[in-house]
């Protein structure tokens, strides 16, 4: 049999039309609005544990947009000017109200609306459909209202305290609890807001969604189950952190416990959470990969 050296025809890539002038104008306008907000948040909300992940979310969101730039600008542009103007006016109103009244939630949220408005005016709804994940992902950089944070934090702190006490009591440690204060031996430790799980929940949920985006899983059921699993994973990770902190304090003293709290507690939280997330993903892989007739390494 003769062999042909001719290669298979390669399909031409979709034509990309780069509206450089419009991109430059929109980029300058967005930076003029975004930079003052980011500088303000860097001195306020982003200095706290519950919003320290926001700069990472912003960087990853724009990286995703840059990575998909060819697809976003491929094909014919179909601007949706009416929808774009509606979203733009709404975003500007949120920005002005948030900026003038010091409402970080509104000011940060307005950036997503303004970015979406620019997409609508530039390329239309097809660009929004292709960029839905980066836009949704940016929600995790929006600071939550203080009232909502306080309403959620206290029940989580109590739950973490109850579970930690039960586990240590089952292990025959001399531990007691009053509210969110744990007493073990001569030491008293209060479960702080950072140990409630709310802060880590949003950080881990965002990282979990980013992980699923990179893995490009096509099963909606698998993605949904993994995203939901991050909620109990976050809770378990915080319980482990509190237990380890209590044990370090009990066996090595209060000074060692405080040193552990500031030096390794956060690292331990994310190590445990990442291990549990990976284990959960492997369990789901054994189910969904087999059902799809695939075998993953």
Provide mean pLDDT across the span 123-148: 88
Q: Under a CB-based contact definition with an 8 Å cutoff, are residues 200 and 156 in contact?
A: no
Single pTM value for the model? 0.73
Provide mean pLDDT across the span 62-90: 89
Q: What pLDDT, on the 0 to 100 scale, is given for residue 1?
A: 38
Q: What band does 109 get if pLDDT is binned at 50, 70 and 90?
A: very high
Provide mean pLDDT across the span 273-297: 73
Among 118, 123, 195, 222, the active-site one is 195
Reported as a single tens digit per residue, the pLDDT across 215-230 is 887 788 888 898 888 8
Is the pLDDT confidence value at 7 over 70? Answer: no
Higher pLDDT, 104 or 89: 89
Taking the C-alpha atoms of residue 12 and residue 265, their distance in angstroms, rounded to an integer, is 52
Q: What band does 171 get if pLDDT is binned at 50, 70 and 90?
A: very high
Provide mean pLDDT across the span 154-162: 86
For 55, residues 6+ apart whose C-beta sits below 8 A from its C-beta are 38, 42, 46, 141
CA 264 to chain centre: 21
Q: What band does 113 get if pLDDT is binned at 50, 70 and 90?
A: very high
Buried b (16+ CB within 10 A) or exposed e, 271-284: ebbbebbeebbeeb
Q: What band does 6 get if pLDDT is binned at 50, 70 and 90?
A: very low
Is the pLDDT confidence value at 41 over 70? Answer: yes
Q: What pLDDT, on the 0 to 100 scale, is given for residue 92?
A: 94
Whether 241 is catalytic: yes
Whether 195 is catalytic: yes
Among 123, 177, 222, 241, the active-site one is 241
Closest CA to 237 of 205, 269, 189, 198: 269
Q: What pLDDT, on the 0 to 100 scale, is given for residue 93?
A: 95
């Amino acid at each position: 049999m003769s062999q042909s050296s001719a290669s298979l025809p390669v399909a031409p890539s979709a034509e990309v039309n780069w509206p450089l002038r419009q991109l430059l104008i929109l980029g300058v306008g967005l930076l003029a609005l975004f930079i003052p907000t980011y500088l303000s948040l860097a001195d306020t909300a982003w200095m706290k544990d519950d919003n320290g992940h926001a700069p990472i979310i912003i960087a990853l969101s724009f990286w995703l947009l840059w990575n998909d730039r060819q697809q976003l600008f491929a094909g014919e542009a179909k601007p949706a000017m009416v929808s774009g103007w509606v979203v733009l006016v709404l975003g500007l109103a949120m920005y002005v109200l948030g900026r003038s009244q010091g409402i970080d939630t509104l000011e940060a949220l307005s950036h997503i609306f303004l970015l979406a408005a620019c997409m609508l005016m530039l390329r239309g709804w097809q660009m929004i459909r292709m960029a839905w994940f980066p836009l949704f992902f940016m929600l995790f950089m929006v600071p939550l209202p203080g009232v909502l944070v306080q309403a959620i934090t206290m029940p989580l702190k109590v739950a973490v305290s109850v579970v930690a006490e039960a586990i240590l009591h089952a292990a025959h440690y001399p531990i007691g609890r009053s509210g969110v204060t744990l007493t073990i031996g001569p030491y008293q430790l209060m479960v702080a807001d950072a140990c409630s799980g709310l802060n880590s929940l949003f950080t881990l949920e965002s990282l979990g969604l980013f992980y699923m985006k990179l893995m490009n899983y096509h099963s909606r059921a698998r993605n949904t189950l993994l995203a939901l699993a991050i909620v109990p994973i976050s809770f378990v990770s915080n319980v482990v952190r509190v237990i380890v902190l209590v044990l370090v304090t009990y066996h090595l003293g209060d000074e060692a416990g405080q040193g552990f709290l500031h030096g390794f507690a956060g690292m331990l939280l994310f190590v445990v959470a990442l291990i549990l997330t990976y284990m959960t993903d492997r369990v789901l892989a054994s189910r969904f990969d087999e059902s799809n007739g695939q075998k993953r390494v």
